[in-house]
Structure 1
Amino acid sequence: MPIPPAGPPVTAARPPARSDLEALLSEASGVPVRLKHLERLTPWAVLRARTAGPGAGLPASVIVKWLRDDPDGLRDDPRQVHTELAALRFLSEDLGLGLAPRVLAADPAAPILLLEDLAPRTPLDRALRYGGALPPPPGLASFARALGELGAATAGHAEAYYARRSALGPVDARADRVWPEAGVWPRVVEQAAAFGTALPDPAGGELAGVVAELADPGPFLSLTNGDAEANNFLVAGDDGRLIDFEFAGYRHTLTSAVCLYVPGPAWLAVGDPVATGLEAAHRGALARSVREAEDDRLFGYGLACACLTWAAARLVRFPVLDARPAGDPSRIQMVSVLESAAGVAADRRALPHLAGWARRAALALRRRWPDADVDPAALAPYTPRH
């Protein structure tokens, strides 16, 4: 889950009025538009608005996003809506990409977005939950490929994106570049020492390199949506689209690939992307314009930095997990995350001291939480956490 942006949140708005949506669509299409039905969509806090009849190029339904209430304070900042608006228009209008929904109309001041309805595509995570990942469904390879295509198409175009974004309000491109997860390392180092897995000096030296790699990605700088997980990829067969660009920004492109190698919040395991061909799909697409992705050393180092940092960002939740009752699946997930990230680094022959520390931290948690001391081979790919 993304870390909230800096700055005070504003009071969240109720869903926009039907009349406001009709006015926006009418202005965008040039003809009067009436809506006959509004419905909430899960798992997202969005609406589907069905028009009384498509006309002037408008579809039969559109998706509505607005500034909304969020008890975690993650999605109640108008800058997030502005970011999504800029990112989606940048992709479709500036780059001509069909990787994400098109913006049909918008009111940045409200703020409200009316987006292309991607139905009948459905969330990839739903297919994985109910259909499993063996053999990998075509949507999974499409997801990996789309992440690579996004990186390849947007690399080198940061100036055009930030021109769009800055027109909607102040934005700090340098701050955008910092992956929020990287900011948790000091807390993680402190917590790890508290349960007997202090970071050794050589690992500290490697950590400085990790922070530098993520802060200055060089050729690996591209637009990411900021929350690359299977729930944010809508798919029908192998035809998929990326959604949820509220936390988009130019940062290390391999941060978006972590979800292929290390379990995200929904999963206990994700499988082997090399054996299943997911890495080839992602890396091949990325290398079409980011040639450095073909270099095993550069690709492997960046990937190891991103995976270990993701693991650290999850480990910061240790006090919460430690207070939960035995048998809570989040404990198994935490061990799996650490061991998966360490395995990525070992396979790439990168960051051996940090990888060793991650394995020791996982072992310490196995001993502390006997309920989490499970055989990772017994976890099927994309086993849900709940």
Structure 2
Amino acid sequence: MAAAPRGIFQVDALKHLLTDLFASPVAVDRWEQVEPWAVTRVWLQGTSVLPRSVVVKWIPNGQRDARTAPWRLRTELAALQFLSEDLGIGLAPRVIAADSAARFLVLEDLAPRVALDQLLRRDRAAAHGDRLAAFARARGALSAATAGRAETYCTRRAELGPVDAAADQTGRLAPLREEAIQRASALGAPLASRAAHEFAPAMEELNAPGPFLALSNGDAEVNNILLHASGPTDARLIDFEFAGYTHALTDAVCLYVPGPAWLTVGDPTTTGLADQYRHALARGIPEANDDRRYGNGLAAACVSWALVRPQRFALLDTRSPGDHSRLQLIATLEAAARTAETYQALPHLTAWVRRLAIILRRRWPDADQDFADSTRFPPYQARH
């Protein structure tokens, strides 16, 4: 058997945990770490009641950043048990066991499913329209199934340790948005009064979602959904370490605005992904059928995300011409503005976002490119 990777979960603790759970001796046949994460696929030997393999998520020792914080594992455990045990839905992996002392979770192995981003990088988006549609439906279905159940989730999460339900993604990102406004002003695009008048209620919409309050895994991107490379399109969402209740439409932003990995994501209104998501969402949140309310919420969520990205401006400004991150920042701002225009929402705030993008195009002539040219910038073109 190969030596365990440095800092890996305690193999003996895993064997003892599963032996107690299944009331039968369990042996570890082999394992394979899923780089670069603290995730390992483990093949087991034992009785027929055992799964052939499991996935173990663990907290490495000796690291000091937030990624090692035990609360992340507790959050994932609570979210996955909430979905499977409280709601009875199969949108995410099932928890087989957990060891809080050894700091690891044992999860259902979803192989041979693979992450959608791998398929998009390999084959381009045109080859996986049905899987992108499954991704959009899964995002909407998660929100639809969890809307109105915040109290149940928070109770389960609180049983595992302290949690601040108000410190959702929107709250954590608020300082970055304020920083973006200050930076834009320094670049020559101050937030004028009419745009500021739209900005405050837009952010309030995200802070007080009303019926749109739903569970998010906290990272709604195509790397966090597993599907079969061919055949069935039954999807499973993964990575709930930052899960929490927030505005459901923050999970739709990834369909409209590039995430950290992409230069473009395409136009979901023409590909049908927008309708796939919205129809799935409306099954649990009927208010999603209200065009005005839906459009305002989506525009606010997209602009909010776009204003987080300029935090990297100082770094990007020092990079060499042609750096993809410069292209991505401009594409992100313009995609958010385009979404708001499509839904006829936040016109003054949208104009301000476009103004900031124009300033960056002038500052970085190498990034002054036509993102509407699908021959150069097809949907889901990776950022390098």
- TM-score exceeds 0.5: yes
Supply the RMSD in Å over aligned alpha carbons: 1.6
Q: Distance in 2 between matches of 1:122 and 1:338?
A: 30
Q: Could you report, residue by residue, the CA deviation over 1:195-238 in whole angstroms, capped at 9, with x for unpaired residues?
A: 11111111111111122111100000000000010001111141
Matches within 5 A, 1:181-220: 181-220=173-212
Secondary structure, in 3 states, of the residue corresponding to 1:75? Answer: helix
Q: Distance in 1 between matches of 2:127 and 2:177?
A: 36
CA 1:43–1:235: 2 relative to 1, 3 Å: farther
Q: Distance in 2 between matches of 1:19 and 1:156?
A: 41
Identity %: 53
Q: Distance in 2 between matches of 1:287 and 1:44?
A: 34
Is residue 341 from structure 1 mapped to residue 336 from structure 2 by the alignment? yes
Structure 1 residue ranges without an equivalent (≥5): 1-12
Is residue 322 from structure 1 mapped to residue 317 from structure 2 by the alignment? yes
Q: Could you report, residue by residue, the CA deviation over 1:3-43 in whole angstroms, capped at 9, with x for unpaired residues?
A: xxxxxxxxxx9211211111111122221111111111135
Secondary structure, in 3 states, of the residue corresponding to 2:55? Answer: strand
Letter in 1 for 2:337: A
Residue 354 of structure 1 deviates from its aligned partner by 1.1
CA contact (8 A) 2:9 2:60 kept: no
Aligned partner of 2:3 in structure 1 is none
Letter in 2 for 1:385: R
Is residue 224 from structure 1 mapped to residue 216 from structure 2 by the alignment? yes
Q: Distance in 1 between matches of 2:269 and 2:17?
A: 46
Q: Could you report, residue by residue, the CA deviation over 1:328-352 in whole angstroms, capped at 9, with x for unpaired residues?
A: 1000000100000000111111111
CA contact (8 A) 2:140 2:281 kept: yes
Aligned partner of 1:144 in structure 2 is 136
Q: Could you report, residue by residue, the CA deviation over 1:81-116 in whole angstroms, capped at 9, with x for unpaired residues?
A: 000000000000110110000000001233210001
Q: Distance in 2 between matches of 1:70 and 1:311?
A: 34
CA contact (8 A) 2:169 2:218 kept: no
CA 1:164–1:120: 2 relative to 1, 3 Å: same
What is the TM-score of this pair, normalised by structure 1?
A: 0.93
CA contact (8 A) 1:217 1:252 kept: yes
With 218-227 and 179-188 compared, the bigger mean Cα shift is at: 179-188
CA contact (8 A) 2:8 2:38 kept: no
CA 1:69–1:330: 2 relative to 1, 3 Å: farther
Structure 2 residue ranges without an equivalent (≥5): 1-5
CA contact (8 A) 1:54 1:60 kept: no
Secondary structure, in 3 states, of the residue corresponding to 2:235? Answer: strand
Matches within 5 A, 1:28-43: 28-43=21-36
- Select 1:255's aligned residue among 231, 250, 254: 250
Residue 55 of structure 1 deviates from its aligned partner by 2.8
Residue 186 of structure 1 deviates from its aligned partner by 1.2
Letter in 2 for 1:31: S
Q: Could you report, residue by residue, the CA deviation over 1:228-286 in whole angstroms, capped at 9, with x for unpaired residues?
A: 10001111141210000000000001111100000000000000111111111111011
Matches within 5 A, 1:287-326: 287-326=282-321
Matches within 5 A, 1:1-386: 14-53=7-46, 55-56=48-49, 58-68=50-60, 73-134=65-126, 136-176=128-168, 178-236=170-228, 237=230, 238-378=233-373, 379-386=377-384
Length, aligned pairs only:
373
CA contact (8 A) 1:84 1:244 kept: yes
Secondary structure, in 3 states, of the residue corresponding to 1:175? Answer: coil
